[in-house]
Amino acid sequence: MAATYPTALKVFSTFHDYTDVIWAWSVNEMHDEIVAIESVLGTAPFANTPYTTFAGAIQDLYANKAPSLHTHTHATLLDDNQGNDHPQYIQVSGYPGFSQAVAGQNAWAASHLLPLGQLQSFGYQNTAQVQAAVNAALGNLMSGAAGGAPIWGSTPAPTWRVQGGYFTGITNGSGQVFIPISPPYSRCVQAFVCTKMPPGPGAGTPYNWVEAQTTLMAVSGSVATVQFSHDYSWQTNMKVSLNWIAIGT
């Protein structure tokens, strides 16, 4: 006979001791239903899963993987860090990457996707282009700025490197601070300029930076010495800050 399950639930007959005769079909219909259930479950139904019961699997399915409106949180999924459940999306890590050009929209915020055409329209230059412009502008300064000697070292054929940064520190007993140039120049420092600015937060007595005078006292390929003064006196043990730019090779 055909099994009732899985199209419906089987309703078995109730038998009574010493009254009803148990026929072969009574046992056979149980066999048919058991075989139908086993066919649905298959062999090793929990293989390669963290589950040992259907109740646990269904609870996880409901609570974590498929509530209404697909609002599950991927961070709570068991295999979220082991695979990619949605390969149609680009992950925040950039994986799996774009396979075709992306037109995008005009990017007006930091989180917007910036198309290449818009970026190029901004007129930005890459490092190599900036370096080429610097080399071209300084190509005739082989003997130093304004025809004089370089601030430090000797000028080779110019392949100039521009760098700069922010510095803050406490002046010494001579009103000086020492600004590291990193990475250092090995041959020549063609120019070094700095601009005083308000000191940032932290330890030390902030200096009245508006009235300060700054003087470049010395420079090497790795450090520049700048002195702060006011009314013809050194400003010692004062917290000072400045921006700096150097050109060298």
Model confidence at 207: pLDDT above 90? no
Q: Does residue 124 form part of some domain? A: no
Is the per-residue pLDDT at 182 higher than 90? yes
Q: Considering its fold, how many domains does the chain have in total?
A: 1
Does residue 64 contact residue 77 with C-beta atoms inside 8 Å?
Answer: yes
pTM (predicted TM-score): 0.47
Does residue 243 lie in a domain region?
yes
Residue 152 lies in a domain: yes
Q: Is there a domain that residue 177 lies in?
A: yes
90 found inside a domain: no
Mean pLDDT of all residues in the chain?
81
CATH of the domain at 179: 2.60.40.3940
In a domain, 45, yes or no: no
Q: Each residue of 79-118: pLDDT tens digit? A: 555 556 677 777 777 777 777 776 666 777 766 777 777 7
Residue ranges making up the domain that contains 213: 145-248
